[in-house]
Structure 1
Amino acid sequence: MAFTLLNRLHMTTNQTPNTLSPSSVALLSLIIGCLVLGFKWLAYWLTGSVALYSDALESFVNIAAALVALLALRVAYNPPDKNHPYGHTKAEYFSAIVEGVLILIAAVLIIMEAWERLFSPVALTEVGIGASVSLIASVINGLLATYLIWQSRQHYSPALRADGLHILSDVITSVGVLLGIGLAWLTGWWWLDPLLAILVALNIIWMGSHLLQHSVGGLMDESMSDNELQPVYDIIRTEMRGAIQAHQIRTRRAGRLSFVEFHLVVAANMPVQEAHSICERIEQALKQALHHAIITIHVEPESELEKTGFIVNPKI
């Protein structure tokens, strides 16, 4: 029965209306990433700017991350099988972890390149043309990041969200680089170029660390956030009419799936059909609120009442 429920969920998540499949979105990200890399590398080649070099190097990371996301999403959307009865959705977290590691490697390479130039500044060439080319790349990236984040909400996809946030951060740093290069060109302070590259690298390190933290939390079956938990509590409290107590509520996320399980205490003489109806009512309300959710309810007699009351803290 568990296989049947998860397979139905797999089918419905692949039939989201008016949206591309997650794999198609990742493929689109990969193609556009290659286009943006071409623009950014051209900007670096025209100017010789180490800051633009750092921007172009981050595009290499974007391409690698999009490729990993594409592979992970194809695994994540495979239906449950005998060896993976809960599905393959956690594959998306591996994608985000690989992306975080690649980001950190890129940051180290940028700092190594910029450090020497910081003490031996070099005047840039073709700044106007190079900056224009880089600006075009940033606009394309901005549109792509917005689209990826929107699609990640449609599919509840950590991999697409990580990719979108990474590219959005790339856009922000690119704008900062362009402003800094413009200032260096106007003032002749060419040391601003490698300094900006180092600042970009530090921002990339922060972003990579954040991605790793979020992904590791998913792999470690971290509970839903407090903002997500409160509606779960409210729904159970509202829909458990006829039951006596709900306790040991535990939640976790695995990619696009949400898992909620708890114990429901009912009267010892309650008919099985009546207890089942209460559980069905709670399940339907939770699935409507959480979308792709797997609900497990363990029914207990009133002798199993706990002193902790309605809810046991799920993080203990």
Structure 2
Amino acid sequence: MDQQNMEQYWNYLRSMGLSEEAIEMYKKQVDLTSNWAGQLNQFSQNMQQFNQLFTGDDADAEGDDQPTELLLNDNTQLTKEQQWAIGCGADVAFTNEQFLNDLTTGLGKQTCRQLLSEWWDIDSTEELEEMIAWLKESGHRMEYDLIWQALNTVSVKESKAFLREHVIANKLEEQTVMEHMRNTRDALELFREKALIDPVAQPEMLIWDYARIINLSRGGFDAGYFTREQALEHIMEVVPAIKRVYVSWKHLSISYQFARCVWNGVDEDEFEVFRKNMELLLTDPRSPWVTLAW
């Protein structure tokens, strides 16, 4: 495989939201002298699995095979309050055909262990606890707050200077932060054009981190790293903050979709898929967003 095709693949991974650190890991793993095509195909399959479980970036999001029915476990043992908390991650769970009203993702123990290891470097209960603690305390919200402050400076030049200063202070990666700033501008333009967000208010980023806590806890339960009690404890702990910040299921969903565009870039076709999914979740009589009042 020549250098040009290799670079195209690395750029594809970047467009999917993969970090430079993860891409460097891939580069070290790839053996260019044997079966590159096979490895490339396996990497793509792994990337799709990861996106399906944790970010909702389905590689086939533009296709015709999107779910049209809600997947519910009629035998769930969760209380209404617990189902409500699980419902806060429904943007991802529905897209990837997971239960919307139960703790399990339905993906199985080995699949969840593999995904947690490959994409989060999590191979134990301790490492899962550390990741969730980081998401609770700061997560991606810290970087987003810096980007928002930069966008409200006088000029683009000053915005970049402001970000570079804080990138160094907070040991962030400059290229990634600058890309996220461009994505934020694009997302603001799109969501304001669609009248989905206030023209002047700052879109809230909390759900981007807290939905990950919900999905990591569910995946950790399926992987066997968390007991049922441990997983539910982490999930229920995020509920008060979510209720303080958001005023409706629609508000939560729009905020999640906006954050997704900030971190992964604006793709209008994928945006329309997620918006249609949101409308179905808001109107289907069986949806937790309908049966469980905000």
TM-score, normalised to structure 1, is 0.22
> When you count strand as a share of all residues, which structure comes out higher?
1
Specify the structure having the higher radius of gyration (Cα). Answer: 1
TM-score, length basis structure 2: 0.23
Ranked by relative contact order (alpha carbons within 8 Å, sequence separation 6 or more), the top structure is: 2
